[in-house]
């Protein structure tokens, strides 16, 4: 398993390097240097504040997801675990390391592994759904910027698709609950998982609350990106940026490179290019987005790690065992 993971990291690193090199090769170095020179500390500070706000909101979401059925975490502990796992994404290079660290840290507070794994799945699911919803809401605004108009009633079709997806997901959850043999439900790990699925499936107010937090959290990230756009001299407003940014975020989240590097830059150059932003400026904005994410993670992750007072060797041993 370790060899597979190491190969995966090497492949993703190669993809990131190749994509970045390919994009750089197609740009004017002088214009790119000028675009990268647009560094204003006040914009970076504001962007970091919004980025940290997003992390805090996602930590609150994690608290809600873990406290389904039974209260396990306080807000403070949820913040510490979530922010520390963000730091683990950097320390272990891949997002898988962060996920395993989050599972290990949460399990130390008496939460069943099955419940943590399912909560992690829902955590990622709500992020994707929030990006899809924002894409559906703002994407029609891109029509004036493309030569060929978007298909008629695309928004309605997309909304119906989302609703059908949620409905199918709910039906699948209830099917799993009903069809799981009673003898397996009595086992601790499975029992926690089944109970979790059942509570979530029957609590629409919780789903709405978590969905709202997810959308606001993504909006904080979008505000952070918009501030960097302003600081880089891009002549676009927030509404224009929102027509492409949710889709850019979805593309950048594809797990095919290290931390989204390379993929994110290509998505920014294509998306912002539709709005009339030069490739060099788009590339510079994307690089800043990546750096701001790293800086925000370090700023809040290290204090969280210290406050948890972890036994690092034990956590690393748990991660290797379950990798």
Q: Where are the domains of the chain?
A: 2-144+205-322
- Write down the pLDDT at residue 47: 94
Q: Is a pLDDT exceeding 90 seen at residue 190? A: no
What is the overall mean pLDDT for the chain? 76
* Residue with more model confidence, 150 or 25: 25
Q: Is a pLDDT exceeding 70 seen at residue 78? A: yes
- Write down the pLDDT at residue 185: 45
Tens digit of pLDDT for each residue in 47-66?
999 999 998 999 899 888 88
Question: What single string gives the DSSP state of each residue in 225-282?
Answer: HHHHHHHTT----HHHHHTTHHHHHHHHTSTTSSTTTTHHHHHHHHHHHHTT--HHHH
* CA-based end-to-end distance of the chain: 7
SS3 call for 20? helix
Q: Is a pLDDT exceeding 50 seen at residue 72? A: yes
For the entire predicted model, the pTM comes to 0.79
pLDDT band at 90 (very low <50, low <70, confident <90, very high): low
pLDDT band at 184 (very low <50, low <70, confident <90, very high): very low
- Write down the pLDDT at residue 6: 64
Tens digit of pLDDT for each residue in 215-227?
999 999 999 999 9
* Residue with more model confidence, 89 or 260: 260
Tens digit of pLDDT for each residue in 103-127?
777 777 677 677 777 888 888 888 8
- Write down the pLDDT at residue 192: 62
Tens digit of pLDDT for each residue in 155-165?
455 555 555 55
Question: What single string gives the DSSP state of each residue in 178-220?
Answer: HHS-HHHHTSHHHHHHHHHHHHHHT-HHHHHHHHHHHHHHHHH
Q: How far apart are CA 143 and CA 155, in angstroms?
A: 12
- Write down the pLDDT at residue 214: 93
């Amino acid at each position: 398993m370790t060899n597979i993971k190491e190969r995966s990291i090497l492949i993703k690193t190669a993809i990131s390097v190749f994509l970045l090199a390919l994009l750089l090769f197609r740009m004017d170095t002088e214009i790119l240097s000028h675009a990268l020179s647009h560094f204003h500390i006040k914009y970076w500070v504001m962007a970091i504040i919004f980025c940290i706000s997003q992390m805090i909101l996602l930590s609150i979401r994690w608290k809600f997801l873990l406290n389904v059925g039974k209260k396990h975490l306080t807000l403070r502990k949820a913040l510490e675990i979530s922010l520390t796992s963000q730091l683990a994404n950097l320390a272990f290079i891949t997002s898988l390391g962060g996920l395993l660290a989050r599972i290990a840290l949460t399990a130390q507070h008496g939460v069943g592994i099955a419940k943590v794994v399912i909560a992690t799945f829902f955590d990622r699911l709500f992020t994707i759904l929030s990006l899809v919803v924002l894409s559906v809401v703002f994407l029609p605004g891109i029509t004036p910027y493309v030569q060929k108009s978007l298909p008629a009633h695309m928004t309605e079709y997309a909304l119906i698709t989302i609703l059908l997806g949620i409905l199918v997901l709910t039906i699948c959850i209830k099917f799993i609950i009903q069809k799981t043999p009673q003898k397996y439900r009595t086992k601790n790990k499975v029992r926690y998982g089944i109970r979790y699925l059942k509570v979530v499936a029957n609590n629409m107010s919780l789903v709405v609350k978590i969905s709202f937090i997810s959308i606001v959290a993504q909006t904080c990230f979008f505000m952070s990106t918009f501030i960097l756009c302003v600081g880089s001299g891009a002549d676009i407003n927030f509404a224009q940026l929102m027509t492409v940014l949710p889709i850019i975020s979805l593309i950048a989240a594809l797990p095919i490179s290290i931390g989204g590097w390379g993929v994110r830059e290509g998505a920014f150059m294509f998306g912002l290019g539709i709005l009339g932003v030069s490739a060099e400026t788009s590339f510079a904005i994307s690089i800043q987005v990546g750096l701001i994410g790293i800086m925000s993670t370090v700023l809040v992750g290290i204090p969280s790690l210290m406050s948890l007072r972890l036994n690092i060797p034990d956590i690393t041993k748990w991660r290797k065992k379950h990798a």
